């Protein structure tokens, strides 16, 4: 078993859009994402994207369209020296009550089963309280980034009593927190 770094997609890897990322042309990678992923990729961590994609359930996008965007994102990350080992997404609307939509831990639990992951040594980097709660429900360590919705989510995080959750500027800060200054391996 190995540990994982789970990454939310929109708001952590690329710019969040209020009207959803619907095409490859709408993908805008956040600053410092590529060097951060390259550094993380030099470790034994399994790197897994976990993303709520309600535009599918809302009829805005098809699964095939989301998967095409994800494939191109992974290809660009690889071209820039990083890697993504697996991608999981929840296609459901928030009102559907599924087990896979964050804050529920379904995507993380499924990944752990399919990829033989040690959740207790794993992290989830996200920009929302739902990411923090999914991490905790799965037994992972959460890290909140201030990119995406992170700045707006900070007060909610405090109100819910998660004052101990690390908060960093972006993915590079999260990778630094996980690996330490020397890039220590898990």
- Residue 59 located in a structural domain: yes
Work out the pLDDT band at 84, boundaries 50, 70, 90: very high
- Which of 83-87, 114-118, 182-186 is predicted with the least confidence, judged by mean pLDDT? 182-186
Query: What is the rounded average pLDDT of the residues 119-146?
Result: 98
Residue in 10, 95, 127, 131 annotated catalytic? 10
Name the average pLDDT for the chain. 95
Note if 85 is an active site residue: no
- Residue 133 located in a structural domain: yes
Residue 50: enclosing H or E segment and its boundaries?
strand 46-52
- Residue 141 located in a structural domain: yes
**Per-residue pLDDT reduced to its tens digit, 23-67:** 999 999 999 999 999 999 999 999 999 999 999 999 999 999 999
Token code pair at residue 152: 């707006």
- Residue 184 located in a structural domain: no
Cα–Cα distance measured from residue 155 to residue 163, given in angstroms and rounded to the nearest whole number: 10
- Residue 185 located in a structural domain: no
pLDDT(182) > 80:
no
Work out the pLDDT band at 163, boundaries 50, 70, 90: very high
- Residue 186 located in a structural domain: no
Whole domain around residue 48: which residue ranges?
4-179
Residue 50 · residue 111 · CB < 8 Å: yes
Query: What is the rounded average pLDDT of the residues 143-159?
Result: 96
Query: What is the rounded average pLDDT of the residues 9-17?
Result: 96
Bridge partners (DSSP) listed for residue 90? 52
Note if 118 is an active site residue: no
Residue in 8, 85, 95, 131 annotated catalytic? 8
The enclosing domain of 124 has a CATH number of 3.40.50.1000
Tally the domains of the chain. Answer: 1
pLDDT confidence of residue 183: 46
Token code pair at residue 68: 């095409």
Give me the DSSP letters along 88-142.
EEE---GGG--SSSTTS-HHHHHHHHHHTB-GGG-EEEESSHHHHHHHHHHTPEE
């Amino acid at each position: 078993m190995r540990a994982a770094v789970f990454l939310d997609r929109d708001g952590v890897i690329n710019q969040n859009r209020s009207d959803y990322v619907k095409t490859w042309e709408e993908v805008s990678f956040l600053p410092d994402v590529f060097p951060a992923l390259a550094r993380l990729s030099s470790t034994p961590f399994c790197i897994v994207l976990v993303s709520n994609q309600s535009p599918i359930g809302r009829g805005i996008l098809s699964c095939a369209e989301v998967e095409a965007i994800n494939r191109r994102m992974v290809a660009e990350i690889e071209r820039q020296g990083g890697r993504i080992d697996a991608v999981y997404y929840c296609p459901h609307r928030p009102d559907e009550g599924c087990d896979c939509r964050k804050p529920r831990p379904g995507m993380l639990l499924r990944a752990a089963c399919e990829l033989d992951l040690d959740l207790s040594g794993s992290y989830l980097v996200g920009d929302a309280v739902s990411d923090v709660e999914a991490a905790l429900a799965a037994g992972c360590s959460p890290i909140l980034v201030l990119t995406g919705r992170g700045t707006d989510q900070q007060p909610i995080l405090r109100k819910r009593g998660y004052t101990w959750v690390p908060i960093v500027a972006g993915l590079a800060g999260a990778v630094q927190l996980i690996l330490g200054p020397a890039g220590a391996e898990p």
